[in-house]
Amino acid sequence: MLSAHNRKLFDELRALNLPPDQFVVFGSGPMGIRGLKEIGDIDLLVTEKLWKELLKTHESKDRREIKLSPHVDAIMIWFPGEWDVDDLIAEADVIDGIRFVKLKWVHAWKSLRMAPKDEKDLKVLEAYFQGQKSEPQQ
């Protein structure tokens, strides 16, 4: 079940009117849209084309992150670096018109990063995969 808080964040994302084939929700967002977690923000990976367009009108922090506006603190744009954003977009799950990376990639990212908050998320994901009767495949 999607919480009111998560719904509000995804509505804010939709209101930005970003080209839907140029970004994918990463981080905890794919868990949030499925009601697996109350999320604090939305992380987007964007294509190089969209990144360059956004740089024309928005400030970039350390050339890897763009904050869209002072009013939208909860949506961050990331230049993907080591991730192939085109592949992630192509294989994404589309939910309510927004592309979300597959949960297997959330699991992979959180397993690599292993921040303290990731341990809880990994347990939630593993329980979800067990309920789906499939393990994350890479």
pLDDT at position 115 is 85
Q: What residue type is assigned to position 51 of the chain? A: W
pLDDT at position 67 is 72
Q: What residue type is assigned to position 138 of the chain? A: Q
How do 75-78 and 42-46 pair as beta strands? Answer: parallel
What is the tens place of the pLDDT at every residue in 26-57?
A: 999 999 999 999 998 888 999 989 988 988 88
What is the tens place of the pLDDT at every residue in 110-137?
A: 998 888 889 999 999 999 999 886 545 5
What is the tens place of the pLDDT at every residue in 82-112?
A: 778 999 999 999 999 999 999 999 999 999 8
Q: How far apart are CA 24 and CA 46, in angstroms?
A: 7
For the CA atoms of 73, 18, 88, 101, what is the dihedral angle to 10 degrees?
A: 50
Residue 102 burial (CB < 10 Å; 0-12/13-18/19+)? middle
Query: What are the tokens at 128?
Result: 């979800």
How do the domains of the chain map onto residue ranges? 4-102
